[in-house]
Amino acid sequence: MDHPRHETMSQNDGNDGRMNHSHHDKAEHAAHEMSKMSHMNHEAAMTNPQMAKEMEADMRRRFWIAFLLSIPIFLYSPVGAAIIGSQIPSPIPINWLLFLLTTPVVFWSGSIFITGTYYSLKSRKLNMSVLVATGVLAAYFFSVLLTLTVGGETFYEAAALLVTFVLFGHWMEMKSRRGTSDALRALFDLVPPQAMVLRKGKEITIPSAEIEKGDIVVIRPGDKIAVDGEVVEGNSSIDESLVTGESIPVLKNIGDRVIGGSINQNGSLQFRATKVGNETALAQIIKLVETAQNSKAPGQRIADKAAAILVIVAISVGVITFFSWLFFGNASFITALTFAISAIVIACPDALGLATPTAVAVGTGIGAKHNILIKDATTLEQTSKIQAIVLDKTGTLTEGKPKVTEIAVAQGFSEQDVLLTAASAEKKSNHPISKAILDEAKKRGAPMDENVSDFEAIGGHGVRATVGGKQVLAGTEKLMLDSGVSLDSLQSEINRLLSSGNTISIVAINGVVAGAIGVADQIKPTAKKAVAGMQALGLEVAMITGDHERVAKAVAKKLGIKRVFAQVVPEEKATYVKKLQKEGKFVAMVGDGINDAPALAQADIGIAIGAGTDVAIETANIVLMKSDPADILAAIKLSKATVRKMKQNLFWAAIYNVLAIPIAAGAFYTSFGWVLRPEISALLMSASSIIVATNAVLLKRVEKNLTS
């Protein structure tokens, strides 16, 4: 594979060369690596779309050459002659003809097993290649020896068909598994091959890979956005659904962030590139998916150890079988060798080695397709063990966009006084409640006091500021009580607002309570169903929030959540997660903000939901790109379904070897006349691998049930 081809491919695929450096390195050397990669080691390459395609094509080519040559080999072999009942005329002695036909099958089509064995032994590892090569070369060289010496019945057809069946099994396995890279393929294709930038005042078109930080990128209607950036001119609606999963287009104005991979709809704009290459959100998503599909689940590590042991067992069984039949079973040399080769071949731990990687690849691929990014195979497996889940309220269960519902005022104050004073004090705060108050003030069109000084945000409780020369407090009951503000005159109204599910911001002016602003956050449409679904799986669902206890309980009651942690300051969230862990529970935490990061890290499984902050995403084990609680349930269901497939595959692989090895070794030959020739053993072994790979692919059936 030549280098220029890959340069073209990178552009056509729309991939940033820097973003996908490892991707291109792998693809670029696919042909070279193929020669030294044993077929037990192709899991990693299968997550790379180009590499997977190259490997599948190579395996298909090898199979068809082997298959076409194996037809005359079988017909001229003693077994074939016995089946068709007649001898086909041969231009040269049959054994020499079989030698000429079998040699390219063994040393070209089957070369991947031989070179795989070399590199495996060089690295002091035993894998399936060792077993296949042992069986093939034993049959081949014994047949060559007979051809050169005494003649007689040979094993050429066993060597050829062994290679053919194993290649067919792996071609089918690769074909079924290559679909798991579709999610990655779709992500790679989101980046346009070219982009228009401003250089020296002129618009020029350059490859997307050449965009640098600080470049001004020009976007017209219908264009794909190549890198992350900040809008500096114009406005437009951007479709971010393919990246974030959010179906509604987002209006972007000057100062707003745009994401690489999203699609501009109707307007024109310019943005400054802020993240390029591996730094972009899309690159991080691709990295997450690749890492997950290449990682090993805890169950896989056990399977790998078992497979390594099985290789030793297989070779030992083959040797013991040979000498047992030769010296104790009064069998001929050929009969003993037949049983030995069959036992070695059928014991190949291919199915065992594929049992969990195929399920992991399919599971993470399904997750990525549905905007559920699982960071590694361990997380995919461990998520099925969740016993309790802690849900942050704001932004997770609710929209995170609270609105002012009501303003209660103390005697001597008006709604206008309370609202404008609070809005003026809250201007520098980025808290959702502050934003709701500001939005309400703007909606009413009343001017705010610009004479604001001494602003102080009090974490988890509110703000303090001087507005127009007056000392203003806006925040929680606790803030008021700690500041010595009496609430007696307004307590009944405060209680009423809290009981109806409002979050309140109490406003005090010069140490006197002036009013209370009720703010309500809409519960997400899917939240109640998602909570019910989690409870149906046997999970204990808890809600955690900084809101007043009565507000929290009102929301929890609507959602059917019984356990509530309220009035929790950000730094204490991790403590409540730890509390559940001390109760002996395997705990997941779901949050979307910087303040959730410690709790996400403390939890056994951390889940970042929605656009989430970079900190939350970095800390979490699972990233849900959409702000949809239903995806929490979907992630848990996906994990449970994947683990079921892992267990099914491991069971099949184990039981197959337990039953097949004794038969292949001739344990039932004397009693029942059961015998498996090497080529039949190869067929059964390959069929076992196909069954495991196909069973993993059937995991796709769960897609429709993920959110139901």
79 three-state secondary structure: helix
519 three-state secondary structure: strand
Active site residues: 392
Tell the residue number behind the tokens 């307590």, with chain if given: 491
The count of C-alpha atoms lying within 13 angstroms of the C-alpha of 413, restricted to the half-sphere facing its C-beta, is 24
Which one-letter amino acid corresponds to residue 574?
A
- Smallest CA-to-CA distance from 46 within 37, 621, 642 is with 37
Q: Which residues of 504-536 are buried (b: 16+ CB within 10 A; e: fewer)?
A: bbbbbbeeebbbbbbbbbebbebbbbbbebbee
**Is the CB of residue 555 less than 8 Å from the CB of residue 501?**
yes
CA separation for the pair 217, 547 (Å, rounded) = 43
Tell the residue number behind the tokens 């956050």, with chain if given: 521
- Smallest CA-to-CA distance from 690 within 55, 177, 299 is with 177
CA separation for the pair 214, 218 (Å, rounded) = 13
Alpha helix stretches (DSSP H) within 13-48: 21-28, 30-36, 43-46
Burial class, 572, CB count within 10 angstroms (exposed 0-12 / middle 13-18 / buried 19+):
middle
Query: Per DSSP, what are the bridge partners of residue 229?
Result: 258, 273
- What DSSP string describes 294-331? HS--HHHHHHHHHHHHHHHHHHHHHHHHHHIIIIIS--
Strands 587-591 and 388-392: parallel
**Is the CB of residue 52 less than 8 Å from the CB of residue 174?**
yes
Strand (E) positions, 360-451? 372-374, 388-392, 403-409
The sign of the torsion formed by the CA atoms of 176, 179, 180, 181 equals: positive
φ, ψ (nearest 5 deg) of residue 139: -65, -40
CA separation for the pair 322, 702 (Å, rounded) = 47
**Is the CB of residue 527 less than 8 Å from the CB of residue 577?**
no
**Is the CB of residue 582 less than 8 Å from the CB of residue 332?**
no
CA separation for the pair 684, 670 (Å, rounded) = 22
| Chain CA centroid to CA 675, Å | 44
**Is the CB of residue 527 less than 8 Å from the CB of residue 559?**
yes
